[in-house]
Amino acid sequence: MSKNIFITGANKGLGLEAARRLVQQGHTVLVGARDADRGRKAAAEVGGRFVAIDVTDEASVAAAAADVAAHEGHLDVLINNAGISGPLTQGTQLRGEDATLVFDTNVIGIVRVTGAFLPLLQAGTDPAVVNVSSGLGSQAITHDPSRVESTVVAPLYNASKAAVTMMTTQYAKAFPGIRFNAVDPGYTATDLNGNSGPQTVTEGTDAIVTLATEDPGAGTGRYLDRFGPLPW
């Protein structure tokens, strides 16, 4: 069954590849992006529909929800993908304004978008929200010396993704009628890491696509990568 799927930060990287794959599966994909030119180009490239959205701006988020309400009428899947790395500096160099920017985008942005799109999700028959988190936000994974995540020191980004994962479990408890799940794309080559990751964007979107298209009645409050469930 075709779904209406909205993806934030979909003009490049994981968001763009997820959009491409979901369109290929026959879904209606709404390509959310802050930059109108890049967003329209990305939507045309994958066959989706561009919707302007800046997750750090309340008015922009509200306008995006109104756009979807006017055109599609309801939403089946929301993929909260937009995020930034912020300054990858050591602890002594961190500043409050840096933390504000990272958390406003990566965490509070999800709150804004989820809140604005809840009525559209609740108007559907099997609504789902997929929050793109990271293994860098997992206390278990970042303390496992066998994992590359244990070698990364990025306090703001890591803390923001830990917040995303916890927030996902809390949303899942608060809204039992909506499947809320988090996903770890893994170390994927994107602009976020200077294209240094060993995984392709296709591999990085495997879990995103799986959660966006799984059958009704699948579990909620889960944290997955492309190989299956992960430790918190």
> Three-state secondary structure along 9-32?
CCCCHHHHHHHHHHHHCCCEEEEE
Q: Residue 140 has which token pair?
A: 């278990």
How distant, in Å, are the alpha carbons of 135, 170, 207 from that of 139?
8, 17, 20
How distant, in Å, are the alpha carbons of 32, 135, 185 from that of 61?
10, 27, 25
Whether the CB-CB separation of 137 and 162 falls below 8 Å is answered with: yes
Q: Which residues are known catalytic residues?
A: 157, 161
- The secondary structure of residue 89, as a DSSP letter, is -
